[in-house]
Structure 1
Amino acid sequence: MKYEIILFDVDDTLFDFAKTEREALQKTFQLFGAGTDWTDYLPPYKEISAGLWRDLEQGGISIAELGVERFRRLFLANDLEIDPELFNREYLGNLGKEVHLTEGAVELCNSLSAYRLAIITNGFTEVQKSRIAGSPLCDSFELLVTSEEAGFQKPAPGIFDYLFAKLQIVDKEKVLIVGDSLTSDIQGGVNYGIDTCWFNPQRKENTLGIRPTYEIHSLKELTHVL
């Protein structure tokens, strides 16, 4: 067995984040009285949020700042008189209650009992803990590490140092990271000297020059890699 430890990303890898985000945003906007018009804010929110998550990967903003800033910018651009801090707090609460797994996630994790499994994510600690605890994957992982807890975010080596210390890993050749993001998961693995598996269900073209060790288009394909 080449690998002994499999590190998984959460959002858009094991969990369907697009559905999770949409459901949580709908509930939060409705709580603040946006009603059926909330969908008008979805495209600009996604654009703002994506830019801030890129800033997070580059160390330009903290996870706590990101949470409030995305809504501050959205409300300012759309003349909405809503407290972004309060909105973000409610949104994160709703986000933590949404459990929507990627197809094949349960079957895959159940099939990997011979491996040590861990989570490494840039997401909010309480949100990720809540979603995993409320899912069929609740007993699948030996450890969950978030950037908020570690003080570093993927692709920075610091978050991997933190996880490796927690799991007492000494041999990088025994570790594989699986994730959907080339700039976060795959670049992080490359930077740290561990093998990488790019989960690319939409078969996106890789134009970034970041080369994963493997590429899969469905989670069940990971068993062939292993």
Structure 2
Amino acid sequence: MRYNVVLFDADETLFDYTKAEAHALTSAFQEMKLECTPLLVDSYRRINQELWKAFEQGSITQQQLRTARFERLVAEHRLSEAIDAEAFSQAYIKYLGEGAFLIDGAAELCSQLQAGGQRMAIITNGIKEVQLSRIGRSELCDAFECIVVSEDAGSQKPHPAIFDFAFDKLGFPDRQEVLIVGDSLTSDIAGGSRYGIDTCWYNPGRKPNHSDVQPTYEIQRLEELVPILAGATHSQGNTSPSRA
């Protein structure tokens, strides 16, 4: 086995965050007695993405992010003054925690790896109560040796402290035997590269990489990870090693 430990990102790598977000937004808007229009959804997603980038860069805290996105949404669209951003946030987080939707192939991949004795962990910047709820409700609930959440680590990807925290929980494995798999170049891949571990960019949409961040591998389907872990990266034509 080429890699002893696989660190998986959660959202948009194993878990379908887009579907979970849609469920949470629709339900939270209904609870707030607001019509969930496409314009409001698009605005929320833009605001949310901007704030998560700020969190990733350390500009704001996760606690600030939780409410700020709804404060900005209410202000931007001049929604009813009766709308309480904190209550909106709490409703959204409650419903988001229900969204245990998986990316296609995630259950099969983790089952296969688990049966083969592969050590696996999750490393996520997501909100702890949401992530633990979603993972616990899913088919993957018992697949991971540990779940590393940025709130517990006191740091977030791409910063090294969260990787220090993860390695501590995993018994300090050899970095050459650890692979991180994720969909974010700026968070998962940049963080792993800086920490000195190999990286696998899950890129199902075949997005171009215009950044300076170069993953060790790039895959479009989760099943393509299997030969990488086995050390047979050239056995599948759709698996793209970025370096030897």
TM category, shorter: over 0.9
Larger Rg: 2
Q: Please give the alpha-carbon distance, in whole angstroms, between the structure 2 residues aligned to 1:31 and 1:38.
A: 14
Residues 105-139 of structure 1 deviation map (CA, whole Å, 9 limit, x = unaligned):
00000111221110000000010000010000001
Q: CA deviation at 1:86?
A: 1.1
Runs of 4+ in 1 over 6 A off after TM superposition: none
Q: Please give the alpha-carbon distance, in whole angstroms, between the structure 1 residues aligned to 2:214 and 2:71.
A: 36
Q: Please give the alpha-carbon distance, in whole angstroms, between the structure 2 residues aligned to 1:224 and 1:65.
A: 41
The letter for the 1-side match of 2:124 is: T
The letter for the 1-side match of 2:15 is: F
Q: 1:127 aligns with which of 126, 130, 142?
A: 130
User: How high is the sequence identity, in percent, across the aligned residues?
Assistant: 51
Aligned length: 225
Q: Is the 8 A contact 2:8 2:121 kept in 1?
A: yes
Q: Is the 8 A contact 1:23 1:98 kept in 2?
A: yes
Q: Kindly indicate whether residue 92 of structure 2 is the aligned counterpart of residue 91 of structure 1.
A: yes
Q: Kindly indicate whether residue 144 of structure 2 is the aligned counterpart of residue 145 of structure 1.
A: no
Q: CA deviation at 1:170?
A: 3.6
Normalising by structure 2, what TM-score?
Answer: 0.90
Classify the secondary structure of the residue corresponding to 2:37.
helix
Q: 1:180 aligns with which of 152, 169, 183?
A: 183
Q: Please give the alpha-carbon distance, in whole angstroms, between the structure 2 residues aligned to 1:108 and 1:64.
A: 33
1:65: which partner in 2? 64
Q: Please give the alpha-carbon distance, in whole angstroms, between the structure 2 residues aligned to 1:217 and 1:96.
A: 27
1:47: which partner in 2? 46
Q: Please give the alpha-carbon distance, in whole angstroms, between the structure 1 residues aligned to 2:169 and 2:143.
A: 17
1:101: which partner in 2? 102
Q: CA deviation at 1:169?
A: 1.6
Q: Is the 8 A contact 1:180 1:198 kept in 2?
A: yes
The letter for the 1-side match of 2:106 is: A
- The CA RMSD over aligned residues, in Å, is 0.9
Classify the secondary structure of the residue corresponding to 1:128.
helix
Q: Please give the alpha-carbon distance, in whole angstroms, between the structure 2 residues aligned to 1:84 and 1:135.
A: 29
Q: Please give the alpha-carbon distance, in whole angstroms, between the structure 1 residues aligned to 2:51 and 2:110.
A: 31
Q: Is the 8 A contact 1:45 1:74 kept in 2?
A: yes
Q: Please give the alpha-carbon distance, in whole angstroms, between the structure 2 residues aligned to 1:134 and 1:67.
A: 22
Classify the secondary structure of the residue corresponding to 1:144.
strand
The letter for the 1-side match of 2:100 is: V
Q: Please give the alpha-carbon distance, in whole angstroms, between the structure 1 residues aligned to 2:171 and 2:101.
A: 31
Structure 2 unaligned spans of 5+: 230-244
Q: Is the 8 A contact 1:153 1:159 kept in 2?
A: yes
Q: Is the 8 A contact 1:179 1:199 kept in 2?
A: yes
1:154: which partner in 2? 157
The letter for the 2-side match of 1:71 is: F
Q: Please give the alpha-carbon distance, in whole angstroms, between the structure 2 residues aligned to 1:138 and 1:174.
A: 24
Classify the secondary structure of the residue corresponding to 1:3.
coil
Q: CA deviation at 1:224?
A: 1.9
Q: Is the 8 A contact 1:172 1:194 kept in 2?
A: yes
Q: Please give the alpha-carbon distance, in whole angstroms, between the structure 1 residues aligned to 2:97 and 2:13.
A: 16
Q: Please give the alpha-carbon distance, in whole angstroms, between the structure 1 residues aligned to 2:154 and 2:17.
A: 23
1:7: which partner in 2? 7
Q: CA deviation at 1:215?
A: 0.2
